[in-house]
Structure formats: structure tokens, C-alpha cells
């Protein structure tokens, strides 16, 4: 299993070399969006309106951070459960999104979209939110402020530790890991 340092926006070449189980330290801009923001973005697409950001090459972090204390860019900011974004991820991947960051399983449709359009689902450690939040250096709400923790934020991150979970070759880290460690007690 390899370890990579990547900076957004990500290219097809960046994605193709990644294999499920690889570790990635991600830097650059990532955008946050959860259920409510995804519903609105997909609605906008249907109406032919602009999205709050161009998804091409971008990574979306499924997170609703806790409020920042004065002087800090963000509060705690670990991943939320990703399956709730199953209906939306393939649509945005088709529009050029290159990565999702979250926790937990996603659907076969998401896996297929990762293969077809060269994208990657990165797993982060749920509930390690104070530590993960430290990778965030800057945060700014760019859309839907009324959604509070669910607003779309533009984050600048430095060396955010991630695991490649679904790669662009159809592999699934959760399945691989589970098989390897089953019936070992």
C-alpha cells in the first residue's frame, strides 16, 4: 500500500494511480456539502442554474463542522456518514467531481461512477473530529448560509489524512479489509 501527497484540483492521472488501501495526505481547496446542500445543488443543475462552485477536479467533504471558537478557522470537523449522498454523488462525478471524503459505505452506483469517470471515494476516521479539524487552515461559507452547519464551505486543508476507499478500478477497501480480518478470533 502506497502513500501519496496530493493537491487539489485532482486530475485523471492523480486518480488512476490510487488503489484502495493507499494513504493520502490531501492539501488544497476542498468544498463541504451534506444532504441539504446536495439537494439544492442537484436542484440547481436540473434548472440549468450555476452551482456554488465548479465541481471539475474538485473534492467534496461530507461534513457539518462544529462552530469555530474565536481565532480558529473551524471547530471539530470529522466526516459524516456518506450513504445519504448516494443519490447525488454520481451526478456530480459526471460533472467532473474527482473525490468524496466521508465515512461508511456508498452505493454500487457511486462505485460505478468512480470507475467510469475516474473518481475516488476517500474514507476518513469518523469521530476523530478534533484531530481531523486541525488539517483545516481556512474556512469560508460560500453558499446557503441559512443551512448553518450544512452550508457549503470552501476549506483550505493541509495534509488531511485519508484512506483510498473506492478507487477508479472498482476496488472497495471496506470489503477487502473485512475479508482479511473475518473469523480471526
Catalytic residues: 38
Contacts by 106-115, CB closer than 8 A, 24 or more apart: 106/82, 106/166, 107/83, 110/86, 110/166, 111/166, 111/170, 111/172, 113/89, 114/166, 114/167, 114/168, 114/170, 115/168, 115/169, 115/170
Q: Least separation, in Å, of the C-beta of 106 and ligand SF4?
A: 16
Question: What number of helices (H) and strands (E) belong to the chain?
Answer: 6, 7
Distance separating alpha carbons of residues 17 and 36, to the nearest angstrom: 32
Site for ligand SF4 in 10-69 (CB under 6 A): none
Q: Choose between 46 and 184: whose C-beta lies nearer to another protein.
A: 184
Answer yes or no whether residue 131 interacts with ligand SF4 by CB under 6 A.
Answer: no
With CB under 6 A as the contact rule, the residue among 9, 21, 126, 161 that binds ligand SF4 is 126
Site for another protein in 133-162 (CB under 8 A): 133-134, 146-150, 161
Q: Choose between 54 and 109: whose C-beta lies nearer to another protein.
A: 109
From residue 35 to residue 64, the character string flagging contacts with another protein as x (rule: CB under 8 A) and all else as - is xx--------------------------xx
Distance separating alpha carbons of residues 146 and 143, to the nearest angstrom: 9
Q: Choose between 115 and 125: whose C-beta lies nearer to ligand SF4.
A: 125
Answer yes or no whether residue 176 interacts with another protein by CB under 8 A.
Answer: yes
Instruction: Give me the phi and psi of 116, to 5 degrees please.
Output: -65, -40
With CB under 6 A as the contact rule, the residue among 127, 145, 148, 170 that binds ligand SF4 is 127
Distance separating alpha carbons of residues 111 and 132, to the nearest angstrom: 25
From residue 89 to residue 118, the character string flagging contacts with another protein as x (rule: CB under 8 A) and all else as - is --------------xxx-------------
Hey, what's the cell of 70? Answer: 474565536
Residues that bind ligand SF4 (CB under 6 A): 78, 126-127
Amino acid at each position: 500500500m502506497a502513500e501519496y501527497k496530493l493537491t487539489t484540483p485532482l486530475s485523471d492521472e492523480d486518480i488512476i494511480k490510487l488503489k484502495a488501501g493507499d494513504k493520502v495526505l490531501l492539501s488544497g481547496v476542498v468544498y463541504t456539502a451534506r444532504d441539504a446542500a446536495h439537494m439544492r445543488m442537484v436542484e440547481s443543475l436540473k434548472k440549468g442554474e450555476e452551482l456554488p462552485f465548479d465541481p471539475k477536479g474538485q473534492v467534496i467533504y461530507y461534513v457539518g463542522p462544529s462552530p469555530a471558537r474565536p481565532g480558529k478557522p473551524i471547530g471539530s470537523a470529522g466526516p459524516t456518514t456518506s450513504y445519504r449522498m448516494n443519490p447525488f454523488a454520481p451526478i456530480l462525478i459526471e460533472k467532473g467531481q474527482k473525490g468524496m471524503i466521508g465515512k461508511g459505505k456508498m452505493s454500487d452506483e457511486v462505485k460505478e461512477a468512480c470507475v467510469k469517470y475516474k473518481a475516488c471515494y476517500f474514507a476518513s476516521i469518523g469521530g476523530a473530529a478534533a484531530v481531523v479539524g486541525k488539517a483545516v487552515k481556512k474556512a469560508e461559507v460560500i453558499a446557503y448560509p441559512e443551512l448553518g452547519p450544512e452550508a457549503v464551505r470552501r476549506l483550505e486543508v493541509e495534509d488531511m489524512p485519508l484512506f483510498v476507499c473506492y478507487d477508479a478500478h472498482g476496488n472497495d477497501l471496506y470489503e477487502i479489509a473485512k475479508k482479511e480480518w473475518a473469523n480471526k478470533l
